[in-house]
Structure 1
Amino acid sequence: MPFDRIDRQILDLLQEDGRMTNVDLAERVGLTAPPCLRRVRALEEQGAIRGYHASLDAATLGYPITVFAMVSLRSQAEADLAAFEAHIAQIPEVRECHMLNGEIDFILKLVATDLKSFQEILTSRLTTAPNVTSVKTSLTIRTAKALPGIPVVIGDAPAAPAAAN
């Protein structure tokens, strides 16, 4: 799907502020409101825009603990992978689940209200899941960077860094 400069501007602006009105968006990209709305609808239909959501602060809402869990499975047969993914989908504290290549099969990002609740999730829902051979966890100390979305290049491809002399 080729996106022109205006499409990329729309994507960048909506990624930054999904609550922006169509009138404001149109003004920022140099269009009138109707063609801007048509472009947004087309980007949604193409799947470039998957949805809109609010970015919530986990600690403020009672989830100050963020943990990454590295999960190894006994079998990587597709049925076993799908069963693990279905199991994880039922744990609301697991916010992300990514299948990896290499020694670790999955990395999970989960949140917890406190260390006791994290331990409960770990011991009763993760390590006991079918096909799980090991779970290694790391609690986050702080988050230095957490940007949602992806980088959107507005113009041509980004310039290459200048070579050192």
Structure 2
Amino acid sequence: MVRRIDDIDANILRELQADGRITNVELSRRVGISAPPCLRRVRSLEEEGFIKGYRALLDEKKLGFDLMAFAMVHLVSQAEADLTAFAERVERWPLVRDCWMLSGETDFILLCVAPDLRSFQNFVHELTGAPNVRNVKTALTLRQSKDAAIVPMESPAT
């Protein structure tokens, strides 16, 4: 059973999503409680898994990854062992930034980055030759319309 979070916890999560490097003193000021209980709440949210971790968000283009694309993968078999084996293989491909297992016609969708088209084509060649892969469809991105690496903290609409 998932614990319901109160308004203070929700505010803490909202502030940490906006700025994961905020100091505890500033965080406590923004959510309206003193620093010691704020730190206890953050640690509790971490221990309970509400906060999975902290990381820097990097600009892939400034790091030389000018191409971003999606690869839709359809496997020959959807047996659990085959799905797990493919997911484990994905972990070893550095160009794959995100991977989701899907229901429906496509088994996995991969968000990939690459320095150029040739590098991405080489990756797709490797991907299509991977065990249990039936086919791969790709789509190169043209422009990103939204980049929100946050979970909405408003109450779900009913």
TM-score for both structures, normalised by structure 2: 0.96
Residue of structure 2 equivalent to 1:133? 134
Q: Flag structure 2 segments of 5+ consecutive residues without an equivalent.
A: none
SS in 1 for 2:73: strand
Query: Matches of 2:96 and 2:140 in 1, distance apart?
Result: 14
Q: Which amino acid in 2 is paired with 1:86? A: E
* Cα RMSD, aligned residues only: 1.0
Q: Which amino acid in 1 is paired with 2:32? A: G
Question: Aligned pair count?
Answer: 156
The CA deviation at 1:62 is: 0.6
Q: Structure 1 residues 75, 158: CA separation in 2 closer, same or farther (over 3 Å shift)? A: closer
Query: Matches of 2:95 and 2:112 in 1, distance apart?
Result: 5
SS in 2 for 1:81: helix
Is 1:108–2:110 an aligned residue pair? yes
Query: Matches of 1:51 and 1:86 in 2, distance apart?
Result: 21
Residue of structure 1 equivalent to 2:28? 26
Residue of structure 1 equivalent to 2:93? 91
Residue of structure 2 equivalent to 1:7? 9
| Offset from partner CA, 1:17-44 (integer Å, 9 cap, x none) | 0000000000000011000000000000
Residue of structure 2 equivalent to 1:163? none
1:139-158, aligned counterparts within 5 Å?
Answer: 139-153=140-154, 157=155
Residue of structure 2 equivalent to 1:76? 78
Residue of structure 2 equivalent to 1:67? 69
SS in 2 for 1:101: coil
| Offset from partner CA, 1:95-123 (integer Å, 9 cap, x none) | 11101000110000010000010011110
Q: Structure 1 residues 122, 159: CA separation in 2 closer, same or farther (over 3 Å shift)? A: closer
Q: Which amino acid in 1 is paired with 2:19? A: D
Q: Which amino acid in 2 is paired with 1:76? A: Q
TM-score for both structures, normalised by structure 1: 0.92
Q: Structure 1 residues 74, 7: CA separation in 2 closer, same or farther (over 3 Å shift)? A: same
Q: Which amino acid in 2 is paired with 1:68? A: F
